[in-house]
Amino acid sequence: MPMTLSLAGRRALVTGANSGIGEAVAVAVAAAGAKVAVNYVVHPEAAEAVVARIRATGGDALAVAADIADPGQVAAMFAQLDRTWGGVDLLVNNAGVDGPRAVAWEADPAQWLRVLQVNLYGAFLCAREALQRMTARKSGVVLNLTSVHERIAWSGYSAYTASKAGLSLLTQTLAQEAAPFGVRVVALAPGAIKTPINRSVWSDPKSYADLVEKIPLGRIGTTDEIGRMAVVLLSDAASYVTGTTVFVDGGMTDYPSFEHGG
Ligand code: BGC
């Protein structure tokens, strides 16, 4: 089969698509030919701007509101897509929060739980709705955005690392469950990508220098670099990829401190 990165005819839902990596994934998926639902929970105007950006280049998009941590809102969002498009072929679980920085013994339990509710439970709720539809149709792809912190410990972010490690093994389990139905479930783990979530790091020269020390390729990544890989993994070019994580991190998980010594 010739390699094709076209997503023409597919209906995609991208959660948290009104900024950062989610926005770039929505734009890239639309550019590859899919219809895209731009999910958001706050800042509807930002979601509408992403929709307008996609439509301006001839793409097809709509904005859909839902707090992914709320089962009722998630069910309503998928029902809306059923009514509008007759279903969903591609789900990108992107929405995520990192929570306030605090060592575990000083963390606020409610804030800790909220990170798990968005990053892990929210992804599960969306995957659950999507896989009900995809397994019935015997086609579809779920792409979960994890992080290098599914593998790398990160002081001050125990909820975030726990959620991403959990999402990684959730991906593998869902992939095992869905494979007999011809449905793939894959994780994409970005490294440090320039987005609003880490603005305080890349906007400060000292913090940026410290960050770059951790990246063999010597620079922060762009959201476009994640969007492109998302299209590959969602497309038939990745037809034999399931139950695994693809790292797009400039080598951050390659133990760069071992370039010297050891
Ligand atoms: C975090 C970023 C961080 C990156 C690398 C991501 O998962 O959201 O804030 O820069 O990991 O540490």
pLDDT bucket at 4, cuts 50 / 70 / 90: confident
Reported as half-sphere exposure (CB side, CA atoms, 13 A), residue 157 has a value of 17
Find, among 62, 18, 32, 71, the residue nearest to 227 by Cα: 32
pLDDT bucket at 80, cuts 50 / 70 / 90: very high
Q: pLDDT tens across 178-206, in order?
A: 999 999 999 999 999 999 999 999 999 99
Q: What is the mean pLDDT of residues 58-79?
A: 98
Residue nearest to atom 10 of ligand 1 (CA): 192
Whether 160 sits among the annotated catalytic residues: the reply is yes
Residue 114 has pLDDT above 80, yes or no: yes
Q: Which domains does the chain have, with CATH numbers?
A: 11-248 (3.40.50.720)
Q: Alpha-carbon distance 32 to 58, whole Å? A: 11
pLDDT of residue 1: 60
- Cα(166) to centroid of ligand 1, in Å? 16
Q: Is the minimum distance from the CB of 220 to ligand 1 under 6 angstroms?
A: no
Q: Are 16 and 22 in contact (CB under 8 A)?
A: yes
More confident residue, 231 or 262: 231
In this structure, the number of other CB atoms found within 10 A of the CB of residue 45 comes to 9
- Cα(122) to centroid of ligand 1, in Å? 19
User: Percentage of residues in the chain with pLDDT exceeding 70?
Assistant: 99
pLDDT of residue 190: 98
Residue 2 has pLDDT above 80, yes or no: no
- Cα(86) to centroid of ligand 1, in Å? 36
